[in-house]
Amino acid sequence: MTSFSGHLEEANTELAELKLQVMTACSYIKGECSRDGNYDGNLLDDWQLSSYELAFCMAELSAAAAFIDYAQKSTTQKFTQQLALSFCAETFQAVLNRLVARATDIGLDRAKLLDIHVSATYRVLLDTYASSEFLSNLGSEIAGNDIQRLPSMLSEEKELVRETFYRFTNEVVMPLAEQVHRFDEDIPDEILQGAAELGCFGTCIPERFGGLQPDDCADSLSMIVVTEELSRGSLGAAGSLITRPEIAARALLSGGTEQQQQKWLPLLASGETLCAISITEPNAGSDVAAVSLKATPVENGWLLNGSKTWCTFAGKSELLVVLARSNKDSSLGYKGLSLFLVEKPSFSGHDFNHMQSGGGSLTGKAIATIGYRGMHSYDLFFEDFLVPAENLVGEEAGEGKGFYFTMAGFAGGRIQTAARATGLMQAAFERALSYAKDRKVFGSIIADYQLTQIKLARLLATLTAARQFSYAVAELMDDGVGQMEASLVKLFSCRAAEMLCREALQIHGGMGYAEESAVSRLFLDARVLSIFEGAEEVLAIKVVARELIEKSM
């Protein structure tokens, strides 16, 4: 009889075949977007649905690959291998169904795809590891042994970091999370100060600037581990604390002058200066190149005029990293943008008005949202707001390079958002498992019912796949690659978080819909993940699919 490890090898074979089909479809689209043998990316807008579907196919297959790799390393963990095989079987089925449905559009041979469906290897995977009996047995084991997470396989050092923030989340964040959400309050000082004392804000800043990251190498994995644990407590009040200093730090390290780095990075690392990132505008969401906030040069710096929106944490922050158009020639697109360090006082509450002595002003008003509360996201309006010349990132050499400096932080923001999604999933799964073991319906606890058991198995499998996918991408990014994978893991994890939190709420029944139940907050928070740090559609079509198609043969 074939062992579980043998079936994992067979799953790898099926994975390779399905990835080949995805790339074959990408090659077909590339051919259809070529004229006289020359590829024209502008024609891709006629292929948006196919691009969107193919991007998600690759994201899901990449998550399966990460799970397989993790399970193969856990050679003594029978349950881990079984869970990985169940995830792969259901993922492969979903991807294959999507490809079959779009076969005519994307130039694939539907008969060949159906041959995969009836192949002996594929049939064994599906019939064995996606059967109701197998899945319910996994769920029964999860409930019976209270399996809340699988072994991380982190190093001893990283596990110590995780455990430190796990305790902080349990002791400080969780007792405050519901209050912040239900009354739309500011992040309490207990969380901000405690996180700062643990070095939270310096996870992506080199040690020479007072951060926790080694000077001689990147350490994205520590950032992910910390983000996961904080997000498990609250996405809005803790899980996103690292995001803004991380993006700011990457921009400064990418294009800031030595003086700017020496001034700002230690302040960001210590949490002494809180920061926000201001990119989005009312008429320029994910289309960063369309930014129009005016930056006009004057004798002693730059005057900012115009609006920004969705600037998260702008009230409490003393530093705003603002992308603005420094060259009035709009035809330059992203080449006419510069990045500015805007200083302001810290304000509590939902609105503020900062007047400069010279007459300039910056006003902000929080946008009412259904979730992701605590940090507050603001509409901003700049009127003749003076920014000193030394606060242009890169100073004179940085003019017109703001887009590139901003992009340096976005890949990190995407993988961190995947980690936020994983933390949210962990919290939702823990609550769903606990409730399923306690709640009785028709005389039995709901964890004893087949459908609940299958749900628990699927949820833990999805959670584990997201976690191990993000760990794998972190290693790639620390090696100087992994930009595409960072986009893929965000696509997969954010969509997965919505599904998982929905199912966790469903397991709670009516109590899940009550505000007093934490799972209702998790459900609302999960919805934002596919929107910020690169909206799902833009990321899938304009980033992932575009690159897959351009690199196809």
Tokens representing 79 are 């349950």
Phi, psi of 339, deg, nearest 5:
-110, 130
In the three-class reduction of DSSP (H, G, I as helix; E, B as strand; rest coil), residue 481 is classed as: coil
CB 297 within 8 A of CB 326: yes
Distance CA 101, CA 110 (A): 9
Tokens representing 443 are 């005389």
In the three-class reduction of DSSP (H, G, I as helix; E, B as strand; rest coil), residue 302 is classed as: strand
CB 207 within 8 A of CB 163: no
E strands, 223-314, in order: 275-278, 294-298, 301-312
Residue 100's Cβ-count burial label (10 Å; 0-12, 13-18, 19+) is middle
HEC secondary structure over 387-411: EEHHHECCHHHHCCCHHHHHHHHHH
Tokens representing 484 are 């595409």
Identify the active-site residue in 533, 536, 537, 547. 533
Q: Side chain identity at 461, as an amino acid letter?
A: A
Beta carbons within 10 angstroms of residue 259's beta carbon? 10
Q: What is the DSSP letter of 215?
A: T
Closest CA to 92 of 10, 24, 25, 23: 10
CB 527 within 8 A of CB 498: yes
Q: For residue 141, indicate whether it is catalytic.
A: no
Distance CA 256, CA 209 (A): 13
Strand-pairing partners, residue 302, are: 297, 387
Find the radius of gyration of the CA atoms of the chain.
24
Which residue numbers are catalytic? 533
